[in-house]
Amino acid sequence: MTKAEKVQFVIDTLNNLYPTIPVPLDHKDPYTLLIAVLMSAQSTDVRVNQITPLLFERADNPYDMVKLSVEEIREIIKPVGLSPMKAKGIYGLSKILIEKHNGQVPASFEDLEALPAVGHKTASVVMSQAFGIPAFPVDTHIHRLMYRWGLSNGKNVEQTEKDAKRLFPRELWNDLHLQIIWYGREYSPARGWNLEKDIITKTIGRKSVLDAYNKKTSR
């Protein structure tokens, strides 16, 4: 297969598997999505979705959030991990949203990435899922699969994002990054990987990846 044929195979397979695409993190607006994404760092979406209702019951907008102390926020979100850093970020960005953005989440990479605890990936998720602006946030699943599929060199997530944006049509980015995440979780996980179920990697996978898998399973 040519690289273009591989890309089309990925698109067609994912569209067939995921014609409708659920958003992993529960939210009701750009602010609650921003907070949920911030909380998801080094945690799981399942755990975050268990904790955000407890936080949003107390504060689901920046004005109510800054009425809580950093310590109160930390106590609520402690189960998601890294709670001291995340609590400071949540409080700090809420304060800035009030002071600089009239309490609204800005639809701009520059403004989002200027907020405390908001990096490029978090900003990309918000731009894509809250505002529908094309972005390609790269998580561990996308980084792993782009390498397994021979579509990126696996050097770092920045390179993976550049390669994904170069290879896939811009109008598909917002759906495609979610489809790849779901596919990675269900069919091509880092652990407990069964190549027979992973039709995309089995069909277009990098030779070194397939050889390593076959060598490991033949022991």
Percent of the chain with pLDDT strictly greater than 70:
100
Task: Determine the pLDDT at residue 175.
Answer: 97
Is residue 192 in a domain?
A: yes
pLDDT digits (tens, 9 = 90+) for 65-88: 999 999 999 999 999 999 999 999
Question: Residue 186, Cβ neighbours under 10 Å: how many?
Answer: 12
Q: Within this chain, do residues 195 and 166 fall inside the same structural domain, yes or no? A: yes
Structural domain boundaries, residue 79: 30-129
**Whether residues 192 and 118 fall in one domain:** no
Residues 76 and 14 in one domain: no
Q: What is the mean pLDDT of residues 148-168?
A: 97
Q: Spell out the residues 6+ positions from residue 210 whose beta carbon is closer than 8 angstroms to its own.
A: 195, 201, 202
- Across 114-137, average pLDDT: 97
Instruction: Assess whether 42 and 117 both reside in one domain.
Output: yes
pLDDT digits (tens, 9 = 90+) for 173-211: 999 999 999 999 999 999 999 999 999 999 999 999 999
Round to whole Å and give the CA distance between 219 and 2: 32
Same-domain check for residues 45 and 122: yes
Would you state the pLDDT for residue 38? 97
Asked whether residue 25 is domain-assigned, the answer is no
Average pLDDT of 19-39? Answer: 96
Long-range contact pairs involving 23-26 (C-beta distance under 8 Å, separation at least 24):
23/129, 23/178, 24/178, 24/181, 25/49, 25/52, 26/52, 26/53
Q: Are 172 and 179 in contact (CB under 8 A)?
A: no
The CATH number that applies at residue 10 is 1.10.1670.10
Asked if residue 5 lies in contact with residue 18, where contact means CB atoms within 8 angstroms, the answer is no
* Residue 143 covered by a domain: yes
Q: Are residues 109 and 191 in the same domain?
A: no
pLDDT of residue 219 exceeding 90, the answer is no
Provide the percentage of residues in the chain whose pLDDT is more than 90.
97
Q: Comparing C-alpha atoms, which of 170, 120, 164, 123 is closest to residue 141?
A: 164
Q: Is the pLDDT of residue 151 over 80?
A: yes
Element containing residue 90 per DSSP (H, E): helix 83-101
Residue 86 lies in a domain: yes
Are residues 58 and 94 both part of a single domain? yes
Active site residues: 121, 139
Yes or no: say if 180 and 141 are a contact pair by the CB < 8 Å rule: yes
Residues 101 and 179 in one domain: no
Residues 16 and 38 in one domain: no
Q: What is the pLDDT of residues 32-48, one digit of tens each?
A: 999 999 999 999 999 99
Sole residue written with tokens 């067609």: 12
Predicted confidence at residue 171, as pLDDT, reads: 98
Please indicate, yes or no, whether residues 9 and 49 belong to a single structural domain of this protein. Answer: no
Q: Is 81 a member of any domain? A: yes
Under 8 Å between Cβ of 47 and 41: no
Query: Are 98 and 154 within one domain?
Result: no
Question: How many domains is the chain partitioned into structurally?
Answer: 2
Tell me which of 103, 129, 155 is where a domain ends.
129
Residue 218 pLDDT grade (very low, low, confident, very high; cuts 50, 70, 90): confident
Q: Do 119 and 188 belong together in one domain?
A: no
Q: How far apart are CA 160 and CA 141, in angstroms?
A: 11
DSSP states along 19-44 = SS---SS--SSHHHHHHHHHHTTTS-
Last-in-domain residue among 83, 110, 129: 129
| Rounded CA separation 33/69 (Å) | 21
- pTM confidence score: 0.92
* Residue where a domain terminates, one of 78, 108, 129: 129
- Nearest partner of 185 among 193, 176, 174, 173, judged by Cα: 193
